[in-house]
Amino acid sequence: MHFSDSYLHLKKLKDKTIANRLEKALKTLENEVNNPSFIKFLKQKENSEIPIEELRRIFDINQLEKVIVGIDAILANDLPKDEVDPRIPLIREILTDIKKTADMRKERYGLYNNSRFKVIADLSPKLVPLP
């Protein structure tokens, strides 16, 4: 399931107060997760001695944590506990699935990315022009 699937169900909610509150929470989460971009993050760390592959790891873990915390907040504060609409459980399921995936990716981050980071570390001195 994808984050945008929640918007499909959201648009069909009968209670527009709930729909508006939930839409605002989803857009806020989406904005927080998409900012800063990795390029902006790197520019903020321009004078850092940390290797780029480690900066990427830090960035990715931070973004995954934003997803996890943001979805927890939406589930706790913005999504009604009672099933006032049959689409509420569907939205809850989508968000819970995304959160589980983010949790799993965060836990297994090293397994998925160590080989990719090795390639980056090997190639980056050759590809990034020196001043």
| DSSP assignment of 71-109 | HHHIIIIIS-SS-SSTHHHHHHHHHHHHHHHHHHHHHTH
Domain count, the chain: 1
Q: Supply the range of the domain harboring residue 56.
A: 3-126
Assigned token pair, 122: 């090997």
Asked if the structure places residue 131 within a domain, the reply is no
Q: How far apart are CA 36 and CA 59, in angstroms?
A: 9
For residue 5, what pLDDT is reported?
Answer: 86
Please tell me whether residue 129 adopts helix, strand or coil conformation: coil
For residue 38, what pLDDT is reported?
Answer: 93
For residue 7, what pLDDT is reported?
Answer: 85
pLDDT tens-digit profile, the chain (131 residues):
677 888 889 899 999 999 999 999 999 999 999 999 999 999 998 888 888 888 988 999 999 999 999 999 999 999 888 777 899 999 999 999 999 999 999 988 876 666 666 666 676 666 555 55
Q: How far apart are CA 8 and CA 93, in angstroms?
A: 13
